[in-house]
């Protein structure tokens, strides 16, 4: 999943447990949902729940996992 090399690799088709998935093609709506989720995360001050794949992480490590996860998905847009 995510490691000391600063990279994450996971099946890009895999659904995050509990996540609502829509495939309506509305990119702007999806980007707004992502932005809102990141803003909510930034303001979160309670104890972090264990990550479903990586176990117990600090808030900083959760943030790193989020960034690496997003970067992993951006690989779908790379030109071959």
Beta carbons of 6 and 72 less than 8 angstroms apart: no
Model-level pTM? 0.69
pLDDT tens for 29-55 read 888 988 999 999 999 999 998 988 788
61 assigned to some structural domain: yes
Q: How many structural domains comprise the chain?
A: 1
Report if residue 23 sits inside a domain.
no
Q: Provide the residue range defining the domain that includes 52.
A: 48-80
Averaged over 50-67, what is the pLDDT? 88
Question: Does residue 66 lie in a domain region?
Answer: yes
CA distances from 15 to 8, 11, 52 (A): 15, 9, 12
The pLDDT, as a whole number, for residue 52 is 82
Per the CB < 8 A criterion, the answer to whether 65 and 3 are in contact is no
Is there a domain that residue 16 lies in? no
How does the average pLDDT of the chain come out, rounded? 81
Q: Which long-range contacts (CB under 8 A, 24 or more apart) does 72-78 make?
A: 72/7, 72/8, 72/9, 72/10, 72/12, 73/12, 75/12, 76/12
């Amino acid at each position: 999943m995510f490691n000391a090399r600063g990279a994450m690799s996971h099946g890009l088709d895999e659904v995050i447990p509990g996540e609502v998935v829509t495939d309506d093609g509305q990119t702007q709506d999806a980007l707004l949902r992502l932005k809102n989720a990141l803003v909510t995360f930034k303001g979160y001050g309670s104890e972090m729940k264990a990550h479903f794949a990586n176990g117990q992480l600090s808030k900083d490590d959760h943030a790193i996992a989020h960034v690496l996860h997003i970067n992993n998905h951006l690989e779908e847009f790379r030109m071959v």
